[in-house]
């Protein structure tokens, strides 16, 4: 049997040095004939303009050929699978590097590549591609836009109604007629990451060979610009703020995800940073991903043997290599052999200000009001992402939290709980207004600042339609400046009282959300919390997964000392510099609910400032402090009224 073509996946933010790394890899005299794949012609043109690529020839508009036999080709995501498979089958190349444009989460890309179906033979590839091009527009009109599976969110599949959704949109029939489109859709579909999680529609009929039948994902490489690494970790920017095709994902969050899902991490541009600072960056990166091999470089000059044909990638191992996840695993020796990250076993360090990791645990629920007022609001810019049941298309009222789930769903939930499965589609929808915030103080503060600035602008200048477009950039600039000021305030407060918290992630238990796992995801100043399914204590045992390993992990989460709580608990890993572990533990302990408050929550009388649900009769602590800030809607009404008053006053003055 022919050797599978090893693929290296290269990730990194724009400007980190991916082009320089590719230029070095493709021009070195290393005796390895490789080909690289970029997504856009702009990336290919940038590579062609690199000083080391002056001898490269443009064999085709989308292809660069190098004197040593290496090649780089620009391929759209729709063409990537077939072209890579074709080049792999040719046997002409020893390895491949797929370079991400700097906007994708490497875990999703790697998973999509691992399970992408390869149902086309060499004889039918060209015909199928032509057929795909002809049918694409018609398919879009007939149902593609209706099918949530193809859009990548597939919330109906998770709710158990994907079959009907796919049938209604004609998704299943069109995919079966067009295997090429099916492969492209599956690479985007979140459910494809769970292999057989969806039984019909875009995930159906994917029998036969996958891309991994001719290739193997060999190494996940992330390259970092050390000159901007520290500032990017505390950035409040979204990808749309940096690049035209960007979205609402936070730059800091995407950067950390790239670091955490990597086998090899390249610290690039080391010549721009002093040696002492370089040591701190190296230490922090090692804490964020203890399982990765870290190498340093200038101008992206890395030996090819360090980033290709290493054999380092394993989907399960790489997806569990993040420092926060290893720390959580280490708190449960009964379910895993994982040890705490080397040098971070107790969260303490002999060197003042050193990077450390520790896990906060408790078997009592948090009081949501105190958690928000005394911890979240004080130290973070907090965003609450609505529950998955709110992520519907309006055709349903939303699934109940205690709805039945299949074994596959339970296993996926178990993986999500322990591997920190991200729900970026929820975040995007929320940022675009598709979801509601908590309805009070934990709303998106950037949105509040934008509306505040806009209202103030209107109150001074009136609402002339001719000036609105000219004012938009200025309004956004003012909003971002206010948001940055808020970021600086919480970072300074956190550093003083907690130490420099760079990353915290895990899950928690709220007294008012007794059945729901609340995901906790923080990078720098930004904290997002969201519902991530239900605790197994709320699920009948006959609906648990049958897999022995999964059952072992589930049972290890149950507390023998507190049988009434089941697997409900607090588990949040903190990673940072000079962490004040005792102070963090003490503050979080003070946010735990008392027995009386837990009883009030069961009766629906405890105010939930994060996810709503205040009882009409009031709560145990809904005093003046609860009303010190207005809801987003109330604040906007007040601002609009104030703007109208000032506008009227201005007209009277001019008269």
Domain boundary among the residues 563, 593, 623 is at: 593
- Please tell me whether residues 275 and 372 are part of one structural domain: no
Query: How many whole angstroms separate alpha carbon 101 and alpha carbon 276?
Result: 31
User: Count of domains in the chain?
Assistant: 3
- The C-alpha angle 22, 15, 426, rounded to 5 degrees, equals 105
DSSP 525-580: TEEEEEEEEE-GGGS-GGGS---HHHHHHHHHTS-SS-GGGTT--EEEEEEEES--
- Please tell me whether residues 467 and 497 are part of one structural domain: yes
CA distances from 496 to 262, 263, 491 (A): 32, 34, 9
- Please tell me whether residues 215 and 169 are part of one structural domain: no
Is residue 345 a part of any domain in this protein?
no
- Are β-strands 5-11 and 34-38 bridged in parallel, bridged antiparallel, or unpaired? unpaired
Structure tokens at 201: 């529609």
Query: How many whole angstroms separate alpha carbon 443 and alpha carbon 145?
Result: 30
Sheet holding 71-74, edge to edge: 57-60, 63-65, 71-74, 34-38, 95-99, 5-11, 215-225, 264-268, 293-296
Structure tokens at 650: 């201005």
Structure tokens at 651: 């007209």
- Please tell me whether residues 377 and 470 are part of one structural domain: yes
Candidates 146, 148, 162; CA nearest to 196 is 162
**Global confidence as pTM:** 0.72
Query: How many whole angstroms separate alpha carbon 389 and alpha carbon 397?
Result: 8
Structure tokens at 39: 């997504």
- Please tell me whether residues 197 and 265 are part of one structural domain: no
- Those residues whose C-beta lies under 8 Å from the C-beta of residue 651, and which sit 6 or more positions away, are none
Is residue 520 a part of any domain in this protein?
yes
Is residue 122 a part of any domain in this protein?
no
Is residue 434 a part of any domain in this protein?
yes
- Are β-strands 513-523 and 500-510 bridged in parallel, bridged antiparallel, or unpaired? antiparallel
- Please tell me whether residues 216 and 199 are part of one structural domain: no
Strand partners, 519: 507, 530
Query: How many whole angstroms separate alpha carbon 480 and alpha carbon 274?
Result: 31
Q: Distance from first CA to last CA of the chain, Å, rounded?
A: 89
- Those residues whose C-beta lies under 8 Å from the C-beta of residue 376, and which sit 6 or more positions away, are 382, 442, 527, 529
- Those residues whose C-beta lies under 8 Å from the C-beta of residue 448, and which sit 6 or more positions away, are 632, 635
Is residue 389 a part of any domain in this protein?
yes
Domain boundary among the residues 593, 616, 631 is at: 593
192, with CB counted inside 10 A (0-12, 13-18, 19+), is buried
Question: Between the CA atoms of 26, 27, 30 and 33, what dihedral angle is there, to the nearest 10 degrees?
Answer: 40
Neighbours of 325 (CB within 10 A): 21
- Please tell me whether residues 24 and 158 are part of one structural domain: no
Dihedral over Cα of 595, 600, 604, 605: its sign: negative
Query: How many whole angstroms separate alpha carbon 52 and alpha carbon 55?
Result: 8
- Please tell me whether residues 399 and 520 are part of one structural domain: yes
- Please tell me whether residues 367 and 415 are part of one structural domain: yes
DSSP 447-499: HHHHHHHHHHHHHHH---HHHHHHHHHHHHHHHHHHHHHHHHHHHHHHHHHT-
Is residue 651 a part of any domain in this protein?
no
Given a contact cutoff of 8 angstroms between Cβ atoms, the answer to whether 583 and 497 are in contact is yes
What's the gap between Cα 54 and its chain centre?
38
Given a contact cutoff of 8 angstroms between Cβ atoms, the answer to whether 237 and 200 are in contact is no
Given a contact cutoff of 8 angstroms between Cβ atoms, the answer to whether 307 and 266 are in contact is yes
CA distances from 529 to 174, 386, 643 (A): 38, 9, 33
Query: How many whole angstroms separate alpha carbon 440 and alpha carbon 451?
Result: 15
- Are β-strands 215-225 and 5-11 bridged in parallel, bridged antiparallel, or unpaired? parallel
CA distances from 297 to 27, 49, 97, 228, 572 (A): 17, 21, 18, 15, 33
- Those residues whose C-beta lies under 8 Å from the C-beta of residue 314, and which sit 6 or more positions away, are none
CATH number of the domain encompassing residue 260? 3.40.50.300
- Please tell me whether residues 532 and 431 are part of one structural domain: yes
Domain boundary among the residues 203, 225, 245 is at: 203
Residue numbers of the chain with a pLDDT score lower than 50: 120-124, 127-128, 140, 143-206, 337-350, 389-446, 448-463, 614-631, 634, 651-655
- Number of residues that make up the chain: 655
Which residue is it, tokens 């660069």?
64
Domain that holds residue 490: 353-593
Query: How many whole angstroms separate alpha carbon 609 and alpha carbon 619?
Result: 11
- Please tell me whether residues 233 and 360 are part of one structural domain: no
Query: How many whole angstroms separate alpha carbon 422 and alpha carbon 301?
Result: 32
Three-state secondary-structure class, residue 373: helix
Question: Please, what's the b/e burial string for 9-19 (b: 16 or more CB within 10 A of its CB; e: otherwise)?
Answer: bbbbbbebbbb
The pLDDT of residue 655: 39
Strand partners, 26: none
Three-state secondary-structure class, residue 630: coil
Is residue 336 a part of any domain in this protein?
no
Is residue 136 a part of any domain in this protein?
yes
- Please tell me whether residues 433 and 359 are part of one structural domain: yes
Structure tokens at 79: 């063409």
The pLDDT of residue 636: 54
CA distances from 97 to 30, 32, 75, 566 (A): 15, 12, 13, 46
């Amino acid at each position: 049997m022919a050797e599978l073509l090893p693929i290296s996946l290269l990730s990194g933010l724009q400007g980190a040095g991916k082009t320089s790394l590719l230029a070095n890899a493709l021009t070195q005299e290393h005796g390895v004939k490789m080909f690289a794949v970029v997504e856009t012609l702009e990336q290919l043109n940038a590579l062609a303009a690199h000083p080391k690529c002056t001898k490269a020839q443009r064999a085709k508009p989308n292809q660069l050929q190098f004197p040593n036999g290496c090649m780089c080709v620009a391929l759209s995501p729709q063409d990537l699978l077939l072209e890579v498979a074709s080049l792999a089958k040719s046997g002409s190349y020893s390895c491949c590097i797929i370079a991400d444009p700097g906007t994708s989460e490497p875990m999703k890309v790697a998973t999509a590549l691992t399970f992408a179906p390869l149902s086309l033979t060499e004889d039918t590839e060209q015909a199928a591609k032509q057929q795909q091009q002809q049918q694409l527009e018609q398919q879009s009109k007939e149902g593609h836009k209706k099918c949530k599976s193809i859009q990548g969110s597939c919330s109906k599949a998770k709710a158990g109604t994907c079959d009907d959704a796919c049938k209604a949109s004609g998704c299943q029939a069109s995919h079966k007629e067009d295997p090429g489109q099916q492969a492209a859709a599956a690479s985007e579909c979140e459910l494809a990451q769970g292999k057989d999680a969806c039984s019909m529609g875009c995930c159906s009929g994917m029998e036969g060979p996958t891309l991994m039948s001719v290739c193997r994902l060999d190494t996940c490489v992330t390259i970092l610009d050390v000159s901007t690494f520290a500032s990017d970790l505390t950035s409040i920017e979204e990808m749309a703020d940096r690049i035209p095709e960007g979205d609402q994902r936070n730059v800091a969050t995407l950067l950390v995800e790239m670091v955490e899902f990597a086998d090899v991490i390249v610290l690039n541009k080391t010549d721009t940073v002093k040696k002492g600072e370089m040591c701190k960056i190296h230490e922090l990166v090692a804490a964020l991903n203890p399982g990765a091999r870290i190498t340093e470089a200038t101008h992206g000059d890395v030996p090819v043997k360090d980033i290709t044909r290493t054999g380092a990638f394993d989907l399960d191992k790489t997806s569990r290599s993040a420092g926060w996840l290893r720390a959580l695993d280490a708190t449960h020796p009964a379910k895993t052999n994982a040890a705490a990250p080397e040098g971070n076993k107790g969260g303490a360090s002999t060197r003042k200000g050193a990077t450390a990791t520790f896990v906060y645990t408790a078997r009592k629920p948090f009081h949501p009001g105190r958690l928000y007022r005394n911890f979240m609001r004080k130290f973070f810019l907090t965003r609450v992402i609505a529950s998955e049941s709110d992520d519907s298309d309006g055709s349903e009222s939303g699934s109940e939290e205690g709805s039945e789930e299949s074994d596959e769903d339970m296993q996926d939930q178990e993986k999500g709980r322990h591997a920190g499965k991200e729900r970026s589609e929820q975040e995007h929808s929320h940022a675009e207004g598709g979801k509601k915030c908590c309805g009070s103080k934990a709303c998106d503060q950037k949105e509040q600042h934008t509306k505040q600035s806009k209202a103030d602008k209107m109150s001074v200048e009136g609402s002339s339609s001719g000036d609105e477009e000219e004012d938009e950039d200025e309004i956004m600039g003012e909003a971002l400046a206010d948001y940055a000021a808020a970021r600086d305030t919480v970072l300074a407060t956190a550093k003083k009282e907690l130490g420099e918290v760079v990353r915290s992630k895990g899950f928690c238990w709220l007294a008012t959300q007794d059945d729901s796992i609340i995901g906790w995801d923080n990078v720098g100043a930004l904290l997002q919390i969201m519902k991530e399914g239900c605790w197994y204590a709320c699920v009948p045992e006959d609906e648990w997964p049958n897999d022995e390993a999964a059952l072992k992990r589930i049972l290890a989460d149950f507390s023998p000392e507190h049988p009434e709580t089941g697997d409900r608990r607090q588990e949040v890993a903190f990673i940072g510099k000079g962490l004040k572990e005792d102070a963090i533990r003490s503050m979080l302990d003070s946010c735990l609910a008392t027995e009386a408050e837990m009883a009030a929550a069961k009766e629906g009388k405890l105010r939930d400032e994060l996810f709503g649900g205040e009882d009409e009769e009031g709560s145990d602590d809904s005093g003046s402090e609860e009303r010190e800030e207005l809801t987003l809607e109330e604040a906007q009404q007040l601002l609009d009224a104030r703007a109208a008053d000032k506008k009227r006053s201005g007209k009277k003055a001019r008269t």
